[in-house]
Amino acid sequence: MLSEMRISPWHVLAVTFTNKAAREMNHRLSRMLGETSSRAMALGTFHAICARILRREAEHVGLSPNYVIFDSDDQITVMKQVVANMGLDDKRYRPRSLLNAVSAAKNELLLPADFPVRTYYDEIVARAYTQYQEALRQSDGVDFDDLLMETARLLQTNPQVLATYRDRYEHILVDEFQDTNVAQYVILKQLALEHRSLYVVADEDQSIYSWRGADYRNIVRLRDDFPELEQFLLEENYRSTQIILDGAQAIIASNPDRTPKHLFTLKSGGHPVLIHEAYDEQEEADYVARETSRLLRSGYKHGDVAVMYRTNAQSRAIEESFIRAGIPYRLIGGTRFYTRKEVKDILAFLRLTQNPDDDVNFSRVINVPPRGIGATTMNKVAAEAQRRGTSLYRGLLALVQSDKLRSRAERALSAFATMLYQWSEVRDDLSVARLIDRVLADTDYESYIRDGSDQGESRWENVMALRAVVAEAPTISLTDFLTDVALVADVDELSEEVEAVTLLTLHSAKGLEYPVVFLVGLEEGLLPHSRSMDSPSEVAEERRLLYVGMTRAEQRLYLTYAFRRSWRGYGGSEPSAPSRFLDDLPDEVRRKPEDRQRKSGRPSWAVKSWGDELQRTEPAPPRPRPEPQYRTGQRVRHTHYGEGMVLESELEGRNEMVTVLFSNGVGVKKLLSGMAPMEPFSEH
């Protein structure tokens, strides 16, 4: 098509949201256009494209071309130090919460000076944001949000740079447009306004990332800014059966402000959507394990099955049941390869080779392997760096040049500085694999990590696996390799060759597909989540989240919920109400719990299935009629919000919605009693 329209691949920009999707796009384009043409295109994730632009235009934003990208762990480390420097209690002002607030500001293109201060907490965030940015720049570094914000502001404020990239990217294609945030929309708008050759694929029904800044209303903004755009509804689905699609459409149809669509597929019919009510989360997990075993015996493979849930904590019961049943599984969102200690150590050495001003990684490996460098010695370096207003590495160099490093520990510091300098001298002459060899040899890292234990051998295998990754790409530069690693996400590390059932959150499931999908925990307070209860827009997003999960299924879809669920950390269990979303499923697409109850004469959670056999347990006692636990005027104490007074309490199904006025500026909150870590108390 490009050749027919006489469009040069050089002038095409194609962006998506995951490395996995970008790789698939690149693979298909290579087959269609040839490798030379596909390589000429700028194709990748938003973050990867912005990282490339900032490498070229680093001087315009106050960075060096070798700037470092701080990953999630590095960001937490920096913010923890900021919190400590500000003298704050990290239990009250949690570094992760502060980072979330800073991230939200950056997604809205707000600099520290622009941050709106309405409360004392806002003032704390603004100060933390300022110090956090100063720490990043001190290390010549950026975080993920900076990649977008700095690029957007660069295009807004530098007409010459904007003209360069408008000439470069005459035709722009965007996948998953509904997931764009303000910064991403500004980037696209700035680039496309002149040539106005823009093609986006968007589905409001799959907008599930508002908590990280995504705004499906960008679709409305797009129509306002580019009124000449034509709309084509892509209604044919190539993944799911018609029954699954009918069920998913019935769920999402209740959401307002959406483009009506009629999804269809040539895969007519299919298995009914199976709804299962369990007694509690353990019986729910056992049911999933039994059904999985039955499906495996019928011909499905482990990799065909996925179990999805709203919160990470729900995986515990599933994992335990799978272990007992001997079912191999992989947990998405667990310890990722690139976050394992030994891998992070080697990456830290490589990052310092590229950018020695990186204070986070300098502190990480200054005493790895142990060199006898303690806190007293490091404080001396930190004091010198602070006095000069430089990075720790520059402070160390100043001490080395002053010939003041005389003790054994201080001489070790000098040797470390020499080692970093020598690596930086040879980094451009060695492949990344050979550079890793040099790092391992100079640090004697193998002796440090291979301690004779099985765990030590496993860690060394991880180091060798890292080397194997770069050995397969001998021409990749150190800068490109470290950029790629920094932008890797959980789903990017999924190997399609691993034979194991996949366990993952619904938010991680976007873009994936499986022949069999179990969606567990469809209860009020879980899906929709309790945090969304007092916001219609948030409930609508919870509905979209369920829709996304359902449409990951190709052939079989199971929806499960429990009559009771334990809330770990608070003790005991509480009755649960089935999710309101289940009421929207039409009878013709589902197999209901009542179907089994009619056959057995028992509640559905009292029927245990294993293969084709049916094992019956004793009938469960009738559900007790719930009584309100809270009354108007009652004093309560919440583990997070503190003390408050009940304004109103009402039963919703078999749960209780409590409206509480909290003190200390928290205000009014609506809470489900089954989800709320809250207890009555008396002031007397």
With 60 as the cut, is the pLDDT of residue 167 above it? yes
Looking at per-residue pLDDT, the higher value among 666 and 29 belongs to: 29
Helix (H) or strand (E) holding 380: helix 375-388
Long-range interactions of 80-89: CB distance < 8 A, separation 24+: 81/135, 82/128, 82/131, 82/132, 82/135, 83/128, 85/131, 86/124, 86/127, 86/128, 86/131, 88/124
Q: 568: pLDDT confidence band, cut at 50, 70 and 90?
A: very low
Q: From start to end of 463-552, where are the E strands?
A: 501-505, 514-519
> In terms of domains, do 329 and 341 share one?
no
Domain-located, residue 1: no
Nearest-angstrom CA–CA distance, 636 and 508: 36
Q: Residues of the chain with pLDDT > 90: what percent? A: 42
> In terms of domains, do 603 and 673 share one?
no
3-state secondary structure of 169: coil
Per-residue model confidence (pLDDT) at position 30: 81
The domain tally of the chain equals: 5
3-state secondary structure of 327: coil
Q: Residues of the chain with pLDDT > 70: what percent? A: 86
Q: 613: pLDDT confidence band, cut at 50, 70 and 90?
A: very low
Nearest-angstrom CA–CA distance, 653 and 626: 9
With 70 as the cut, is the pLDDT of residue 495 above it? no
- Tens of pLDDT, residue by residue over 25-48, are 888 888 887 777 767 778 888 999
Q: Which domain range does residue 92 map to?
A: 71-138
Q: Which of 180-184, 454-458, 658-662 has the highest mean pLDDT?
A: 180-184
Cα 371-375-377 angle, rounded to 5 deg: 70
**CA-based nearest residue to 138, from 361, 345, 421:** 361
Question: Tokens for 193?
Answer: 């306004």
> In terms of domains, do 366 and 424 share one?
yes
**CA-based nearest residue to 308, from 491, 125, 580:** 491
**CA-based nearest residue to 265, from 528, 501, 551:** 551
> In terms of domains, do 35 and 89 share one?
no
- Tens of pLDDT, residue by residue over 203-217, are 888 877 876 677 777
Domain-located, residue 674: yes
For the chain, the straight-line distance linking the first and the last C-alpha, in angstroms and rounded, comes to: 79
**CA-based nearest residue to 306, from 131, 549, 7:** 549
> In terms of domains, do 520 and 383 share one?
no
Question: Tokens for 670?
Answer: 């609506």
Helix (H) or strand (E) holding 481: helix 478-486
Q: Are 139 and 68 in contact (CB under 8 A)?
A: yes
Per-residue model confidence (pLDDT) at position 63: 93
| β-strands 197-200, 514-519 pairing | unpaired
Question: Tokens for 550?
Answer: 């359902």
Give the DSSP per-residue string, 445-471: HHHHH--SSHHHHHHHHHHHHHHHHHH
Cα 261-509-247 angle, rounded to 5 deg: 40
Q: 619: pLDDT confidence band, cut at 50, 70 and 90?
A: very low
With 50 as the cut, is the pLDDT of residue 623 above it? no
**CA-based nearest residue to 111, from 146, 87, 139:** 146
Domain of 371, CATH number, reads: 1.10.486.10
Domain-located, residue 538: yes
Nearest-angstrom CA–CA distance, 609 and 286: 10
Domain of 274, CATH number, reads: 3.40.50.300
> In terms of domains, do 206 and 280 share one?
no
Contacts of 87 (CB under 8 A, 6+ apart): none
Per-residue model confidence (pLDDT) at position 377: 82
**CA-based nearest residue to 524, from 561, 550, 557, 549:** 561
> In terms of domains, do 199 and 220 share one?
yes
Q: Name the least confident of 275-279, 306-310, 359-363, 396-400.
A: 396-400
With 90 as the cut, is the pLDDT of residue 248 above it? yes
Give the DSSP per-residue string, 222-273: HHHH-TT-------B-SSS-HHHHHHHHHHHTT-SS------B-SS---PPE
Per-residue model confidence (pLDDT) at position 622: 40
Looking at per-residue pLDDT, the higher value among 620 and 149 belongs to: 149
Q: Which of 157-166, 224-233, 378-387, 648-657 has the highest mean pLDDT?
A: 157-166
Domain-located, residue 284: yes
Q: Name the least confident of 311-320, 416-425, 590-599, 668-677.
A: 590-599
> In terms of domains, do 357 and 447 share one?
yes
Per-residue model confidence (pLDDT) at position 67: 92
Q: 673: pLDDT confidence band, cut at 50, 70 and 90?
A: low
Neighbours of 123 (CB within 10 A): 12
Per-residue model confidence (pLDDT) at position 600: 40
- Tens of pLDDT, residue by residue over 74-120, are 899 999 999 999 999 888 898 988 998 999 899 989 999 999 998 99
Q: 654: pLDDT confidence band, cut at 50, 70 and 90?
A: low
The average pLDDT across 241-251 equals 92
With 90 as the cut, is the pLDDT of residue 597 above it? no
- Tens of pLDDT, residue by residue over 336-383, are 567 788 989 999 999 999 999 999 999 999 999 998 888 888 888 899
Nearest-angstrom CA–CA distance, 596 and 614: 11
Domain-located, residue 186: yes
Q: What is the mean pLDDT of the chain?
A: 83
Per-residue model confidence (pLDDT) at position 638: 80
Domain-located, residue 282: yes
Beta bridge partners of 670: 659
**CA-based nearest residue to 351, from 478, 489, 484, 488:** 478
Domain boundary among 458, 487, 516: 487
3-state secondary structure of 6: coil
With 80 as the cut, is the pLDDT of residue 423 above it? yes
> In terms of domains, do 581 and 644 share one?
no
Per-residue model confidence (pLDDT) at position 304: 94
Domain-located, residue 3: no
3-state secondary structure of 605: helix
With 60 as the cut, is the pLDDT of residue 625 above it? no
**CA-based nearest residue to 664, from 635, 644, 639:** 644
User: Sign (positive/negative) of CA torsion 104, 108, 110, 114?
Assistant: negative
Q: Are 678 and 571 in contact (CB under 8 A)?
A: no
Cα 230-235-236 angle, rounded to 5 deg: 130
Looking at per-residue pLDDT, the higher value among 146 and 596 belongs to: 146
Domain of 107, CATH number, reads: 1.10.10.160
> In terms of domains, do 342 and 327 share one?
no
**CA-based nearest residue to 655, from 560, 554, 523, 543:** 523
3-state secondary structure of 40: helix
Domain boundary among 171, 198, 225: 225
Nearest-angstrom CA–CA distance, 1 and 275: 46
Per-residue model confidence (pLDDT) at position 530: 83
Nearest-angstrom CA–CA distance, 352 and 424: 8
> In terms of domains, do 263 and 399 share one?
no
Q: Name the least confident of 67-71, 444-448, 460-464.
A: 460-464
At 613, give phi and psi (nearest 5°). -85, 155
Cα 424-430-432 angle, rounded to 5 deg: 90
Q: Are 549 and 512 in contact (CB under 8 A)?
A: no
Domain boundary among 464, 487, 510: 487
Q: 162: pLDDT confidence band, cut at 50, 70 and 90?
A: very high
Per-residue model confidence (pLDDT) at position 28: 85
| β-strands 42-45, 12-16 pairing | parallel
Per-residue model confidence (pLDDT) at position 652: 54
Contacts of 227 (CB under 8 A, 6+ apart): none
> In terms of domains, do 463 and 517 share one?
no
With 90 as the cut, is the pLDDT of residue 275 above it? yes
